Amino acid sequence: MPSTARYRCTSCGNLTRFDVTSTRRTRAYHHFTVGGELSVEDEQVLDEAIESVECRWCGAAGHVEPLDESVDTATEG
Ligand SMILES: [Zn+2]
């Protein structure tokens, strides 16, 4: 399963808006109809590498760190 880690910008306190750049390698079932319509099903993430995470508000100036899951995040908004 891909990482679902949450993040926090320690510069502005943002918990909810990030620009995440990642590289994924996936395998999926491409199901075509006879008419050529494609439906992608059963996509599996084989590998995912997070390249960068930037705060949506601070951009490159923000300092984003992974959020410890034990931290109370009930104040998100
Ligand atoms: Zn920020």
Q: Is residue 35 part of a domain?
A: yes
Q: How much is the pLDDT for 1?
A: 45
Task: Pick the closest to residue 5 from 13, 18, 57, 45 (CA basis).
Answer: 18
Residue 48 has pLDDT above 70, yes or no: yes
In a domain, 32, yes or no: yes
Domain contains 72:
no
Under the banding of pLDDT at 50, 70 and 90, the label for residue 46 is very high
DSSP states of 34-63 as a string?
Answer: TT--EEEEEEEEEEEEEEEEEETTTBTTS-
Mean pLDDT of 49-58: 96
Q: Is residue 25 part of a domain?
A: yes
In a domain, 75, yes or no: no
- The pLDDT value recorded for residue 67 is 85
- Regarding pTM above 0.75, the answer is no
pLDDT at residue 59, as a whole number: 95
Ligand 1 centroid from CA 57, angstroms: 5
* C-alpha of 26 from chain center: 15
Q: What distance in angstroms lies between residue 28's CA and the mean position of ligand 1's atoms? A: 35
Does 73 fall in a domain? no
Average pLDDT for 28-41: 97
Give a yes or no: residue 76 inside a domain. no
Q: If you measure from the C-alpha of residue 63 to the centroid of ligand 1, how many angstroms do you get, rounded to a whole number?
A: 7
For the chain, what is the domain count? 1
**Could you tell me the residue range of the domain that residue 33 belongs to?**
7-66
Note the pLDDT of residue 68: 74
Is 47 domain-assigned? yes
Ligand 1 centre to CA of 68 (Å) is 17
